[in-house]
C-alpha cells in the first residue's frame, strides 16, 4: 500500500477545492483576472472568514479584550512568517544588509535625545460630555469624508447601501452623514482639506472643528481643543524605578546606537545598510481599525547609511524603468489627489524624488509589495508635505495601499539626513562618523590659537579650561577679531554664565597656519524604509479575498504561493486510523520535502474525512 502511495504521490495530494482559505492554491497574483468573475468585495465576509479560520483575533478576548492588541492564529502566524521570510530575502539577502536584533526596552535618555519624548505625539480631542477620546485628524477625516459621501449619495453618484447587509449590528462604527447635497464650493473645500490633512498642526485641526462644526459622530457632542498625547509606553528599569524607560515605538534607534560597530563590521565603508525585524509599541489614541492601527506590531526597518555628498545608488540602473504611481507634495498642497504614472528614473531626474538612493528604495519597496501579492493598481507612493515631514528630513514618501478604509500608509521611506547620528553623538560624546582616507590631501590655511599653558594657568586658575574652551569654539571671523584686539594689548571674552575674562598676548597668540588634511570625516545621511507588517498583511488579505457570483457565501483567499500559509494539503480520504501513519509517511517522503519547488515549503496534514 505504502509503495502504491509513493508511486502515485500526486494522486494523493489533495489540491483543495476553492471554497476555503486552503485555496491559497490559486496560483494567480493577478487579481484583476480573478476579479472578473468575483463578487463585490464584502468586508464582513472577509472578517468572518479570518475570525473563523483564526488568522488573528483580539488578544485577551475572554477577559474582554483591549483595543489595539491582537493575537495571530496558525494561518495568520504562518502568513506573517512567510511575509517576513520574503522580506529577508528581498532586502537583507539580496542587498547584503547587516541584520540586527536590538532591545525593545529603551532607557529614557535615548528617546529624549532622539526627540521622541518631546515630539512623538498625536493630537487628541475629547467629547465635551462623555469624555470619549478621539484622534483629532481622524475625526476631521471621518466627518468630512462622510459629508462628501452624503453629498455624492444625494446627487445620485454613490452606490446605495447594500440591501443584503444581514449582519448590520456587527458593522464597524464609522462616521455617517445623511444624504445631503452640499454647495459645490463646500465640497471643494472639504476635498482640499482631506487632500492635505497630514499637513495641519493641532491648533489648525481645532480651528477646522470649529469652522466646520465637526462633532463626535457617535454622540453629536462638541469636542475640546486638540492637545498633544505622547504615544510611547513609559516604564521603568530596575527594582527601584530609578531608571525611566520606554517600550520602543520603532526599531530605528537600536540601529543608530550600534552605528560604530556596524561600520567596523563593514570595514569602515559606506554606503551600507542595517536591517531589523521586531516588535514596536505605540499607545494609539483610539485604535478602531483592526490590524491597521494597533498598539503592538511588527516592524521591518532598514537604515541605509550614505555619503551626504553622493546619494547615487550603484544598482539604480536596475530599477530606473520601474513605473510608479506618485502623488507628489505640490499636487496635494493644491488640494488635489491626482497621481502621476512615472518611472522612478524620471522622478529622480526631475527632482520629484530627492535622490537616487531614496528612489532606489521606493522602487524596491514596490517590487516587494507586488511580489507578495499586493495589487499594483491599488498601490501608490505619496510624498509628505512640508509640515508633515520631520524638520530634519529632506524628503519622505509613503507606500499607501488602498483597502476598504481608503488609502493606508503601509511603508514609510524617508531621507532623515544626518539627524539621528548627530544628536546621539553630540549627547554621548561618542563619534558616530565615517573617516575616509583622502586620495589627495586637502591643504588649507587658517587662524589657529596657541595657548601659553604656564601663563594661562596662572592667570585664570580654575577657569583656565572654560576660557580655553571658549577660544577653541571660535570660528575664523571671531578669531580674527580676537587677534586684532590682542594686537592692541588685550581682549575681553564672556562665558555663557556672564563671567568676563581678559586675555593678553602673553597668555594667547593667534597665528595663520597651514593645515594638511588626509582624512575626511563626515556624519552619514540615513535613508530609512520602515514597514508595518500587520498593515501589509491585512491589506494583502483584502486584495486576495473574493467570492463567486454564484456562491457569495463562500469566500476565497487567492494568495501567491510565496506567502500562502498552506502550500500543499495531504489528507486521508477515509477516517480509518490505519491511514494516519501512511499519510505521515507520504508527507515525509514527498518530493516537496527539503527541495521545495515554487516555494512550496509548508506541508499541512489535515484530516479531511470524518
In eight-state DSSP terms, residue 88 is: I
> Of 41-49, 262-270, 289-297, 326-334, which segment contacts ligand ATP by CB under 6 A?
289-297
Residue nearer to ligand ATP on the CB measure, 21 or 123: 123
> Of 15-23, 205-213, 291-299, 545-553, which segment contacts ligand ATP by CB under 6 A?
291-299
Strand 340-343 vs strand 406-415: parallel, antiparallel, or unpaired? Answer: unpaired
Q: What are the grid coordinates assigned to 425, written together?
A: 553623538
Is residue 293 part of the contact set for ligand ATP (CB under 6 A)? yes
Tell me: cis bond preceding 271? Omega within 30 of 0 counts: yes
Is residue 206 part of the contact set for ligand ATP (CB under 6 A)? no
Residue nearer to ligand ATP on the CB measure, 413 or 507: 413
The answer to whether the CB of 31 falls within 8 A of the CB of 558 is yes
- Smallest gap, in angstroms, from Cβ of residue 145 to ligand ATP? 16
- Smallest gap, in angstroms, from Cβ of residue 292 to ligand ATP? 6
Residue nearer to ligand ATP on the CB measure, 202 or 561: 202
Residue that the C-alpha cell 530606473 belongs to: 320
Is residue 424 part of the contact set for ligand ATP (CB under 6 A)? no
**Smallest Cα–Cα separation from 528: which of 117, 251, 248?**
251
The answer to whether the CB of 299 falls within 8 A of the CB of 530 is yes
> Of 28-36, 90-98, 339-347, 408-416, which segment contacts ligand ATP by CB under 6 A?
408-416
CA distances from 217 to 82, 176, 189, 554 (A): 39, 7, 20, 34
> Of 57-65, 266-274, 508-516, 526-534, which segment contacts ligand ATP by CB under 6 A?
526-534
Is residue 410 part of the contact set for ligand ATP (CB under 6 A)? yes
Q: Which of residues 462-481 bind ligand ATP (CB under 6 A)?
A: none
Q: Tell me how many degrees the CA angle 568-574-578 measures, rounded to the nearest 5.
A: 95
The span from the CA of 583 to the CA of 568, in Å, is 13
Strand partners, 398: 382, 412
Is residue 402 part of the contact set for ligand ATP (CB under 6 A)? no
Residue nearer to ligand ATP on the CB measure, 18 or 388: 388
User: Binding marks (x or -) toward ligand ATP, 244..283, rule CB under 6 A?
Assistant: --------------------------------------x-
Q: What are the grid coordinates assigned to 252, written together?
A: 530605528
Is residue 299 part of the contact set for ligand ATP (CB under 6 A)? yes
Residue nearer to ligand ATP on the CB measure, 401 or 507: 401
What would you report as the CA-atom Rg of the chain, rounded to the nearest whole angstrom?
30
Concatenate the DSSP letters of all residues of 94-124 into one string. TTT-EEE---SEEEHHHHHHHTHHHH-EEEE
CA distances from 76 to 71, 172, 513, 533 (A): 9, 22, 67, 12
Residue that the C-alpha cell 484622534 belongs to: 135
CA distances from 551 to 105, 404, 542, 547 (A): 49, 21, 18, 7
- Smallest gap, in angstroms, from Cβ of residue 485 to ligand ATP? 51
- Smallest gap, in angstroms, from Cβ of residue 141 to ligand ATP? 11
Concatenate the DSSP letters of all residues of 394-440 into one string. SEEEEEEEEETTEEEEEEEEEE-TTHHHHHHHHHH-----EEEEEEE
Which residues lie closer than 8 Å to 462 by C-beta, 6 or more apart?
none
Which residue has its beta carbon closest to ligand ATP? 532
Residue nearer to ligand ATP on the CB measure, 87 or 456: 87
The site that binds ligand ATP (CB under 6 A) totals a number of residues, namely 14
- Smallest gap, in angstroms, from Cβ of residue 412 to ligand ATP? 3
Is residue 116 part of the contact set for ligand ATP (CB under 6 A)? no
Q: Which of 534, 555, 561, 572 binds ligand ATP (CB under 6 A)?
A: 534
Is residue 543 part of the contact set for ligand ATP (CB under 6 A)? no
**Count of CB atoms situated within 10 Å of the CB of 406:** 10
Residue nearer to ligand ATP on the CB measure, 148 or 411: 411
Is residue 407 part of the contact set for ligand ATP (CB under 6 A)? no
Strand 568-570 vs strand 603-605: parallel, antiparallel, or unpaired? Answer: parallel
> Of 159-167, 442-450, 528-536, 593-601, which segment contacts ligand ATP by CB under 6 A?
528-536
The span from the CA of 610 to the CA of 604, in Å, is 17
Is residue 76 part of the contact set for ligand ATP (CB under 6 A)? no
- Smallest gap, in angstroms, from Cβ of residue 249 to ligand ATP? 7
Is residue 294 part of the contact set for ligand ATP (CB under 6 A)? yes
The span from the CA of 420 to the CA of 254, in Å, is 11
> Of 32-40, 235-243, 477-485, 531-539, which segment contacts ligand ATP by CB under 6 A?
531-539
User: Can you give the binding site for ligand ATP, defined by CB under 6 A?
Assistant: 282, 284, 293-294, 297, 299, 409-412, 530, 532, 534-535
Amino acid at each position: 500500500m505504502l509503495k502504491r502511495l509513493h508511486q502515485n504521490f500526486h494522486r494523493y495530494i489533495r489540491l483543495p477545492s476553492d471554497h476555503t482559505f486552503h485555496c491559497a492554491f490559486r496560483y494567480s497574483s493577478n487579481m484583476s483576472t480573478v476579479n472578473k468573475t468575483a463578487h463585490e468585495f464584502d468586508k464582513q465576509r472577509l472578517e468572518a472568514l479570518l475570525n473563523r479560520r483564526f488568522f488573528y483575533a483580539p488578544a485577551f478576548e475572554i477577559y474582554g479584550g483591549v483595543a489595539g492588541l491582537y493575537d495571530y492564529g496558525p494561518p495568520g502566524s504562518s502568513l506573517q512568517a512567510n511575509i517576513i521570510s520574503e522580506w529577508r530575502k528581498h532586502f537583507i539577502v539580496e542587498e547584503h544588509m547587516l541584520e540586527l536584533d536590538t532591545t525593545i526596552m529603551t532607557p529614557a535618555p535615548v528617546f529624549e535625545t532622539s526627540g521622541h519624548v518631546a515630539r512623538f505625539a498625536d493630537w487628541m480631542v475629547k467629547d465635551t460630555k462623555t469624555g470619549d477620546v478621539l484622534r483629532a485628524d481622524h475625526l476631521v477625516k471621518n466627518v468630512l469624508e462622510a459629508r462628501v459621501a452624503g453629498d455624492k449619495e444625494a446627487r445620485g453618484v454613490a452606490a446605495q447601501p447594500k440591501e443584503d447587509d444581514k449582519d448590520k449590528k456587527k458593522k464597524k462604527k464609522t462616521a455617517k452623514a445623511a444624504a445631503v447635497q452640499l454647495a459645490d464650493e463646500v465640497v471643494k473645500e472639504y476635498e482640499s482639506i482631506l487632500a492635505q490633512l497630514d499637513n495641519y498642526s493641532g491648533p489648525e485641526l481645532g480651528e477646522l472643528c470649529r469652522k466646520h462644526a465637526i462633532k463626535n459622530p457617535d454622540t453629536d457632542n462638541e469636542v475640546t481643543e486638540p492637545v498633544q498625547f505622547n504615544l510611547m509606553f513609559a516604564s521603568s528599569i530596575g527594582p527601584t524605578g530609578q531608571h525611566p524607560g520606554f517600550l520602543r515605538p520603532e526599531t530605528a534607534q537600536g540601529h543608530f546606537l550600534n552605528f560604530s560597530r556596524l561600520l567596523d563590521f563593514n570595514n569602515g565603508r559606506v554606503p551600507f545598510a542595517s536591517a531589523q525585524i521586531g516588535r514596536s509599541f505605540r499607545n494609539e489614541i483610539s485604535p478602531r481599525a483592526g490590524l491597521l492601527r494597533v498598539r503592538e506590531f511588527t516592524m521591518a526597518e532598514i537604515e541605509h547609511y550614505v555619503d551626504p555628498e553622493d546619494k547615487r545608488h550603484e544598482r539604480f540602473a536596475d530599477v530606473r524603468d520601474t513605473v510608479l504611481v506618485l502623488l507628489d507634495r505640490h499636487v496635494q498642497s493644491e488640494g488635489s489627489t491626482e497621481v502621476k504614472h512615472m518611472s522612478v528614473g524620471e522622478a529622480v531626474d526631475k527632482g520629484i524624488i530627492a535622490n537616487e538612493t531614496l528612489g532606489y528604495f521606493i522602487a524596491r519597496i514596490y517590487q516587494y509589495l507586488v511580489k507578495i501579492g499586493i495589487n499594483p493598481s491599488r498601490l501608490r507612493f505619496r510624498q509628505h508635505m512640508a509640515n508633515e515631514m520631520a524638520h530634519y528630513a529632506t524628503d519622505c514618501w509613503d507606500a499607501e495601499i488602498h483597502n476598504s478604509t481608503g488609502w493606508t500608509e503601509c511603508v514609510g521611506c524617508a531621507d532623515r539626513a544626518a539627524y539621528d547620528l548627530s544628536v546621539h553623538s553630540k549627547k554621548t560624546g561618542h563619534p558616530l562618523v565615517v573617516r575616509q582616507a583622502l586620495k589627495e590631501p586637502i591643504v588649507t590655511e587658517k587662524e589657529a590659537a596657541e595657548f601659553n599653558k604656564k601663563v594661562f594657568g596662572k592667570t585664570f586658575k580654575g577657569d583656565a579650561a572654560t576660557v580655553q574652551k571658549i577660544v577653541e569654539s571660535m570660528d575664523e571671523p571671531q578669531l580674527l577679531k580676537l587677534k586684532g584686539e590682542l594686537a592692541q594689548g588685550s581682549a575681553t571674552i564672556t562665558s555663557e554664565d556672564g563671567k568676563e575674562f581678559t586675555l593678553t598676548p602673553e597668555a594667547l597668540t593667534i597665528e595663520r597656519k597651514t593645515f594638511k588634511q588626509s582624512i575626511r570625516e563626515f556624519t552619514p545621511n540615513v535613508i530609512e524604509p520602515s514597514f508595518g507588517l500587520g498593515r501589509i498583511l491585512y491589506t494583502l488579505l483584502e486584495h486576495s479575498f473574493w467570492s463567486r457570483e454564484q456562491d457569495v457565501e463562500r469566500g476565497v483567499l487567492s494568495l501567491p504561493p510565496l506567502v500562502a500559509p498552506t502550500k500543499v494539503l495531504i489528507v486521508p480520504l477515509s477516517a480509518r486510523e490505519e491511514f494516519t501513519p501512511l499519510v505521515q509517511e507520504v508527507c515525509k517522503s514527498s518530493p516537496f520535502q527539503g527541495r521545495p519547488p515554487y516555494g512550496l515549503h509548508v506541508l499541512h496534514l489535515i484530516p479531511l474525512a470524518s
